């Protein structure tokens, strides 16, 4: 028992040591990553501040060059000019914000100035000597004359013959430049070759060469300073530098590393917390393993009993599914037989008219054949040829009627295809034409010029149109005006076929698609009220819709709405 406790304690201590090592590693790498990110952002801030300082000074640099070229200044060095040079210098200083602009001769004496002219000579100064050599002199210093830090820009003035005859000295107030960004983060300062701070956004650093540096070291390639420089500078800071040879300074930045240390510490704490939580869960899982094993044994026994019961239920469900599948198959066969019976019933109703349609061309063919024999016997082959042409046309007409009847009578089982709705209507009218003429029905039908392609089955769609036409003819029986209007409307993704008659209308529009519902008198026809019900099912199978209503001007109107064919959409 004691040995077991000791092993358990050793495992816990080993786990805690591993967690501590992992947390320290996470802190180390997190600190390095945070320093890298801080260095990248600090370098961008330092570059921005450096560009800002050099950009401000560049204005005065260019000002000195442009002012030196002004035509008022050279004459002033050689003689009086009625004060034009002094006025120019004052106006330029006022407009540009320069602290002062001074005109110097070759001896370094002040000839004119925007402010007060003094007897001080600049001869021997580096900036003046550089200007006398024909170049631009640049310098920075703390001026006793102006009582502040300034930048000097000395530009040479050339005579028309070429030699330097003087210089223009533009003095810039550094404090005016740094006033707008004093106190910003991070701490920025610009030092000269003597490591003395000349420009900074921390006023306590200006003029100092000793920044209170205690020690410095490198971490992951970054220089870290440890300082005691007052409350406005970090005790530990990331030191960044950027040379600025254009203005003779070096830009430096100090970024407080406390946020990086906090981030690294938080990451280490989070890693330790996750490891401890994982260890606690692992310990709890180990403790509960035996309890779960016993519960699992009881559960397996219960599952085994439940499995036997479920197998029995599953067997019953499989038998029910098989019975339902057989019933659905019988229902589909019954529906197909019903559709076929409806087509044959329609053919039966049209049989007398179809017989007349076929008998009439046969009688005409016989008459034209006898006449052709007579014309040939008389030696008139042209008339005989015309009769033979009429016989051929009548034969084509009979073939077309028989072909439509055969296509309509067959049992279609193909999937939906692109069907020309105009051809479907034409075929249906051709089959019902004799019946319509016998009933003295005027058919108003003007087909569109271009084919109208819809999704459906050609034969089944013919049956729908033939049912609507046949019902309309039956409905107009006994009416004085018998007109059947058929129209096709197109719009969007749907095509509408509209069939309207001049009959008495629909007595119960909500029930017209119910099976075995009919408005025909008993004995008036052989209809059983299944035509519209079959048509409703066929249109639904095409993904379309069929509606019936009473028209405002009288009569019934049926609308068949079908999807436009994909081929017509692509076109």
373 pLDDT tier (thresholds 50, 70, 90)? confident
Half-sphere exposure of 220 (CA within 13 A, CB side): 13
What is the mean predicted confidence (pLDDT) over 407-426? Answer: 73
What is the mean predicted confidence (pLDDT) over 281-304? Answer: 79
| 400 contacts 435 by C-beta, under 8 angstroms | no
What is the mean predicted confidence (pLDDT) over 150-175? Answer: 88
**Closest C-alpha among 111, 104, 160 to residue 130:** 104
Write down the pLDDT at residue 367: 60
Across the chain, mean pLDDT equals 78
**Closest C-alpha among 507, 505, 487 to residue 497:** 487
Percent of the chain with pLDDT over 90: 5
Cis ω on the peptide bond leading into residue 186 (within 30° of 0)?
A: yes
| 168 pLDDT higher than 90 | yes
Write down the pLDDT at residue 526: 45
| Torsion 292-297-302-303 (CA) sign | positive
Terminal C-alpha separation, the chain: 88
**Closest C-alpha among 416, 478, 468 to residue 445:** 468
Write down the pLDDT at residue 4: 65
* Helix %, strand %, coil % of the chain (to 5): 55, 20, 25
| Torsion 208-210-213-219 (CA) sign | positive
Beta-carbon contacts of 331 under 8 Å, excluding residues fewer than 6 positions away, are none
Write down the pLDDT at residue 525: 43
- DSSP secondary structure string, 284-317? HHHHHHHHHHHHHHHHHHHHHHHHHHHHHHHHHH
Q: Convert the pLDDT of each residue in 480-520 to its tens digit.
A: 888 999 999 888 889 999 999 988 888 877 777 766 556 66
What is the mean predicted confidence (pLDDT) over 93-119? Answer: 85
Crossing angle of helices 381-409/258-349, nearest 10°? 120
Write down the pLDDT at residue 487: 92
Q: SS3 of 498, please?
A: strand
Crossing angle of helices 258-349/531-541, nearest 10°? 150
| 567 pLDDT higher than 60 | no
Determine how many CB atoms are found less than 10 A away from the CB of residue 558.
Answer: 22
Query: How far apart are alpha carbons 39 and 28 in whole angstroms?
Result: 16
Percent of the chain with pLDDT over 70: 81
Q: Convert the pLDDT of each residue in 137-159 to its tens digit.
A: 888 888 778 788 888 899 999 88
Beta-carbon contacts of 383 under 8 Å, excluding residues fewer than 6 positions away, are 371, 372, 375
Highest mean pLDDT among 204-218, 308-322, 329-343, 349-363: 308-322
564 bridge partner residues: 454
The alpha carbon torsion through 323, 327, 330, 332 (nearest 10 deg) reads -130
Write down the pLDDT at residue 486: 92
């Amino acid at each position: 028992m004691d040995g077991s406790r000791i092993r358990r304690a050793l495992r816990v201590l080993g786990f805690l040591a591993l967690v501590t090592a992992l947390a320290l590693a996470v802190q180390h790498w997190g600190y390095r990553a945070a320093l890298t990110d801080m260095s990248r952002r600090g370098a961008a801030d330092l570059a921005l501040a450096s560009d800002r300082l050099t950009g401000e000074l560049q204005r005065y640099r260019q000002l000195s060059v442009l002012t030196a070229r002004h035509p008022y200044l050279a004459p002033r060095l050689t003689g009086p000019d009625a004060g034009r040079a002094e006025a120019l210098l004052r106006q330029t200083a006022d407009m540009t914000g320069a602290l002062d602009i001074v005109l110097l001769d070759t001896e370094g004496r002040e000839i004119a100035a925007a402010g007060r002219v003094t007897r001080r000579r600049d001869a021997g100064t580096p900036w003046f000597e550089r200007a006398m050599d024909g170049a631009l002199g640049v310098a920075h210093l703390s001026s006793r004359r102006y009582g502040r830090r300034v930048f000097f820009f000395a530009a040479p003035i050339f005579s028309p013959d070429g030699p330097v005859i003087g210089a223009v000295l533009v003095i810039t107030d550094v404090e005016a430049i740094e006033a707008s960004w004093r106190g910003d983060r991070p701490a920025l300062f610009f030092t000269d070759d003597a490591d003395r701070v000349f420009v900074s956004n921390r006023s306590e650093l200006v003029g100092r060469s000793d920044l209170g540096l205690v020690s410095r070291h490198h971490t992951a390639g970054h220089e870290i300073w440890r300082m005691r420089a007052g409350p406005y500078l970090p005790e530990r800071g990331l030191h960044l530098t950027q040379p600025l040879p254009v203005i003779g300074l070096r830009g430096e930045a100090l970024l407080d590393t406390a946020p990086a240390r906090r981030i690294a510490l938080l990451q280490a704490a989070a890693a330790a917390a996750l490891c401890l939580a994982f260890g606690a869960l692992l310990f709890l899982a180990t403790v509960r393993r035996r309890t779960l094993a016993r519960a699992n044994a009881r559960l397996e026994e219960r599952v085994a009993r439940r499995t036997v019961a479920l197998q029995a239920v599953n067997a019953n469900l499989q038998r029910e599914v098989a019975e339902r599948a057989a019933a659905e198959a019988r229902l589909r066969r019954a529906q197909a037989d019903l559709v076929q019976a409806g087509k044959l019933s329609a053919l039966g109703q049209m049989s007398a008219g179809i017989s007349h349609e076929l008998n009439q061309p046969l009688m005409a063919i016989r008459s034209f054949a006898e006449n052709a024999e007579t014309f040939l016997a008389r030696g008139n082959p042209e008339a005989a040829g015309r009769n033979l042409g009429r016989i051929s046309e009548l034969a084509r007409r009979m073939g077309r009627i028989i072909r439509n009847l055969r296509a309509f009578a067959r049992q279609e089982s193909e999937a939906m295809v692109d069907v020309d709705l105009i051809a479907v209507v034409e075929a249906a009218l051709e089959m019902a034409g004799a019946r319509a003429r016998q009933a003295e029905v005027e058919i108003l039908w003007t087909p569109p010029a271009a084919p109208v392609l819809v999704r459906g089955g050609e034969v089944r769609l013919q049956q729908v149109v033939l049912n609507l036409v046949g019902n309309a003819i039956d409905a107009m029986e006994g009416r004085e005006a018998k007109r059947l209007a058929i129209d096709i409307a197109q719009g969007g993704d749907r095509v509408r076929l509209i069939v309207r008659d001049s009959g008495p209308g629909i007595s119960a529009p909500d029930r017209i698609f119910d099976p075995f519902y009919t408005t025909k008198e008993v004995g008036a026809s052989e209809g059983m009220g299944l035509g519209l019900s079959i048509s409703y099912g066929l249109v639904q199978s095409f993904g379309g819709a069929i509606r019936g209503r009473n028209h405002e001007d009288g009569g019934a109107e049926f609308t068949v709405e079908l999807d436009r064919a994909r081929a017509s959409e692509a076109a």
